Amino acid sequence: MVVKTVNQESNAPMTTIVLLFASTLTAMATAAIAPALPEIKIYFQNVPNIEILVRLILTIPAFSIAMGAPFMGVIIDKWGRKNLLIVSTILYGVTGSSGFYLNSLLLIFIGRFLLGVAVAGIMTTSTALIADYYQDIRRNKVMGYQASFMAFGGVIFLTGSGFLAVISWQTPFLLYLGSLVLLPGMLKYLIEPKTESKQHINTNLDKKQRIPYKNVITIYLLIFVVQIFFFTSVTELPFFLTQYLSLNLDVVGITLASLTLSGGIVALFYNKVKQKFNFRVIFILAFGLFGMGFFMISLSTTHAFVILSLLIAGSGFGLLVPNITVWLVGDIPETVRGRILSGFTSFLFLGQFFSPLFSQTLLQFVEVAEIFKITGIALFSIGIIFLGLYVREYLQRN
């Protein structure tokens, strides 16, 4: 039996580019069809419970990702990263585009579920390979780039989806075929990390290499909560913008893209921020911006103010994702990296899946605008908790 060890740091630009573009596929998995949700709802308006079902169409891949990721983690730790990434990418293109030629809500749900299985493989393997190939500051930089590429991918996919949704609610599904373009690069530029025997690893496993379960569980819960709140904007903003501001679907896509645009720009500078501040300080700043932006949405009466609010929220989100990921991969030994990252993937996408259930529950009692006020306050409160931890740590040191 073999296990993966950290490979020599890869400096090949094409290797990095392939991994970063592969990461963008995870951003597109659920959000790409978001601008089409109002039209999908109209098309299937006679289906019982369509209000919740149309939102679950967006997030059902998140459920299968969460369920499939632990199995993917075991697979890549035992049998390797590269082959699973290639197979998952093919499955992604086929199942993701299935909504274009399917006309049954049940079949669309099945296609979306299988899409999630593919994303579980892509997300786990691409992050594991980045952790395998790169070390220390270089790893922080590439993790920041990964978050940035995912965000910029979201900008492109949401904007393109908005324009395609004007043609038909089915045409945005064609975006998923773009994944197949990455296959030649994966075959040519990705290298399976070196391996060594499990016995050798166990012999050299000291206390510093043991799994820090407390930190891992904290990170899992943190990404779960963050994704619930983040996808509240993705699932509810299209309805808020069309119903309350009377915006067209193409404008809805551009508006949603402003959230990921600012996140992508900020994530590019994560490595520089991390060199100056520790994890807790970055969390304070990130949750403060994220919460402020969401709270401002609840006060919005114009399109311009919504965009400003999303730009602020996206800036916080752009710091959150790489900060959480770097914190996690820096604490875990490479021998179990696949399994720990698969758990991270599960909680990340479970948050996405439960997001519409969370928002729909709140909608029984409050208006859409109030949801953003509640989530804004909750996010800001998490930032206050990290501020308290930082102050306590500072007082203990002094």
The Cα 29–Cα 112 span in angstroms is 9
Bridge partners, residue 2, by sequence: 197
Handedness of CA 234, 61, 4, 216 (dihedral sign): positive
- Fold type of domain 10-174+209-397: Growth Hormone; Chain: A; (1.20.1250)
The Cα 175–Cα 159 span in angstroms is 11
Contact yes or no for 249/344 (Cβ under 8 A): no
User: Widest CA span of the chain, in angstroms?
Assistant: 65
The Cα 34–Cα 252 span in angstroms is 9
Beta strand ranges found along the chain (DSSP E): 2-4, 195-197
pLDDT of residue 201: 44
Q: Give rounded-to-5 percent helix, strand, coil for the chain.
A: 85, 0, 15
The Cα 349–Cα 353 span in angstroms is 6
The Cα 185–Cα 180 span in angstroms is 10
Contact yes or no for 77/336 (Cβ under 8 A): yes
Bridge partners, residue 3, by sequence: 196
The Cα 323–Cα 331 span in angstroms is 13
Quick one: which of 187, 179, 160 has its CA closest to 82? 187
The values of phi and psi at residue 301, to 5°, are -125, -5
pLDDT of residue 115: 93
pLDDT of residue 203: 45
Per-residue pLDDT of the chain (398 residues; tens, 9 = 90+): 344 444 444 447 889 899 999 988 887 776 678 778 888 888 888 888 888 888 788 778 878 888 888 888 788 877 788 889 999 999 999 999 988 988 888 899 999 999 999 988 998 888 888 888 888 778 878 888 887 888 777 777 777 887 888 888 889 899 899 899 999 999 999 988 775 544 444 444 454 457 778 888 888 998 898 888 887 777 788 778 877 787 776 787 778 778 878 888 888 888 888 888 888 899 999 999 999 999 998 888 888 999 999 999 999 988 988 888 888 877 777 767 777 878 887 888 888 778 877 888 888 888 878 888 998 999 999 999 989 988 888 788 87
pLDDT of residue 199: 45
pLDDT of residue 198: 45
